[in-house]
Structure 1
Amino acid sequence: MRVTFATEPARPDRPNEDFVGATPDAVVLLDGAGEPAGLESGCSHSVAWYSRTLGSALLAELTQSSAPLTEVLAAGIKQVASLHEGTCNLLHAGSPSATVVMLRRTSEALEWLVLADSVLVLDVGTAEPMVICDDRLDRVAAPHRARLEGLPYGSPEYLQARREYITTLRAYRNRDGGFWVAAVDPLAGEHALTGSVPVDTVRAVAVLSDGASRLVDRFGRSTWRQLLDVLEQGGAAELIRRTRTAERSDPQGERWPRGKIFDDATAVYCTLSSTA
């Protein structure tokens, strides 16, 4: 499996809260859930620390274990929790969290796991690729966005409304009827979307944080098939460049209302030697 990727923070002066890592047979992508200033997290560690620490643990485990991906994720969450349970309040609703996508190639199958709103796109040789995204967060959040979308982006009123919006969503995090992310509860592994496809049916795979998938699923400036073509012909950096161009064309979020005008963006493109 040949893997290429690019990642870029939302702003040069802020840490990138995405994590990406790969081996010849595995890919891990996490998108840390950054939150507005002024909200307590109960944790002395940053979101970037969490995504990097968990991402590294997951990638290491994938190289050593053939356990189901749900078990790999649960073990990774438990391991990272043990690193700061003595210094941080892990019961706090705002404890650092992240989305997770894992991909593992075996001799016969391509196994995948998706938790929260990062996106996996499988090019299986048909006109339309197979797109996997966990939309539970979007479904929970949709009724609560109306007030945000009626306020000028960046205004004091907007910032206060966004803090209230995030606080509301925290009540739905990692519970039945809400949405699931990687945080401190290993049970999140059991709630991830998982599956596998025969390895010889897959031509290529894209793994995207929502800062890169937004070119399609928020801006509508591309189809999934066109996105795969961009990755094949121009590479991951070209996809991020096009995303930044779209973001800059709407600096106040008027055309495409969104919580972050610019977002950390990570794109991974994998081709499989058996089919490529």
Structure 2
Amino acid sequence: MLQVCALISEAGGTSANEDAAGHHGDWAWVIDGATGISGAAITGLSDAAWFSRQVDQALRRHAADSDGLSTDTVLRRVVEDVAQAFIGATEGRPRARHERPSAAFALLRRIDDRLEMTTLGDCGIIHRDRDGRAGVFGSSNIPVFEARTLQAARRALEATPDLTPSELWNQVVGQVRANRQSMNTTDGYWVLSTDTEALAHVDRQVVPLDNGPVALATDGFLRLIDLFGRATASDFLYLDDQARAETALRDLRRIEAADDPHHGHLRLKRSDDASLIVVRPA
């Protein structure tokens, strides 16, 4: 079993949370839905919020019945379930590649005396290696494409410094759409979507079991490390109770609120959805 020390999943603004975080038995995960660009909604939710919730629910179902199954088999069943739900929810209407819902995820599974770490996209798993050094496991090409969007935003702001958030979005949405065309392609980036092809491209590492904490986080929470430089990987491993995790989230929101997203640390969302789960082997 994995003992859950802290769990947070919070929307970054007033819209629905497009992240999810969960656990069951020997499994724990975080999911970061990619904000849709088509404006489509499913049962009152954005595509991304719907997709993250569907993946979370499917993981709970299949983790409960995973004895003797590989993680790849479980993930394949999750994607197949969600793909079928998507067909039903959209009445089978075909979608262009850039309109398909997608999500990054990080998944931790205890298997006997080992921990198996699996990521796809820009979520991360923070753990200590054999030498006790803390680091973030998981790699992705998503930052390459995000850099293109930020470069488009930078050019737009240089031309018109006082753009509102919605005006800036209108300036860069074409680049975002172009990026999404590269989703789950050989020269692009790989994320969870409604087909199983991307599952051949997960990052995976198996490490010996120890009693130390392991943290899984979406990129919104990882802003403390990657964007603002206000925390280290080691700091995340001290968020092993709910109170400390909530304090870290408050710190993140305070930093985001104080920092100008257009002329400070450039970003399209002042505050992003943020999810964190910290576990210990029980």
CA contact 1:207–1:269 (8 Å) conserved in 2: yes
Mapping for residues 234-245 of structure 1, pairs under 5 Å: 234-245=243-254
Does residue 141 (structure 1) correspond to residue 151 (structure 2)? The answer is: no
Residue 228 of structure 1 deviates from its aligned partner by 2.0
Look up the match of 2:57: 56
**Cα drift, residue 116 of structure 1:** 0.4
Are residue 28 (structure 1) and residue 29 (structure 2) matched?
Answer: yes
User: Is the Cα contact below 8 Å between 1:69 and 1:102 reproduced in 2?
Assistant: no
1:111-260 superposed matches below 5 A? 111-124=116-129, 126-150=131-155, 151=157, 152=161, 154-155=164-165, 157-200=167-210, 203-231=212-240, 234-260=243-269
Offset at residue 259 of structure 1 (A) = 2.2
Deviation at 1:181, TM superposition (A): 1.1
Q: How does 1:82-97 map to 2 (within 5 A)?
A: 82-86=84-88, 87-93=91-97, 94-97=99-102
Identity of aligned residues (%): 27
Q: Hey, what's the Cα distance between the residues in 1 that align with 2:154 and 2:60?
A: 38
CA distance in 2, matches of 1:239, 1:82: 38
Q: Give secondary structure in 1 for the equivalent of 2:230.
A: coil
Distance 1:203 1:19 in 2: 24
Deviation sequence 1:95-117 (CA, Å, 0-9, x none) = 11111111111212111210101
Q: Are 2:11 and 2:274, in contact at CA under 8 Å, matched by a contact in 1? A: yes
Once the two structures are TM-superposed, the CA of residue 125 in structure 1 deviates from its matched residue by: 6.5
Deviations 1:68-122 (A, max 9, x none): 2233222211111112325143442211111111111121211121010111111
Determine whether 1:108 maps to 2:146: no
Greater CA drift, 153-162 or 221-230: 153-162
Offset at 1:126?
A: 3.9
Using structure 1 for the length normalisation, give the TM-score.
0.88
Unaligned 5+ runs, structure 2: none
Greater mean deviation of Cα atoms: 132-141 or 165-174: 132-141
Task: Calculate the aligned-residue CA RMSD, in Å.
Answer: 2.2
Where does residue 7 of structure 1 map in the other structure?
9
Q: Contact 1:124–1:203 (CA<8 Å) still a contact in 2? A: no
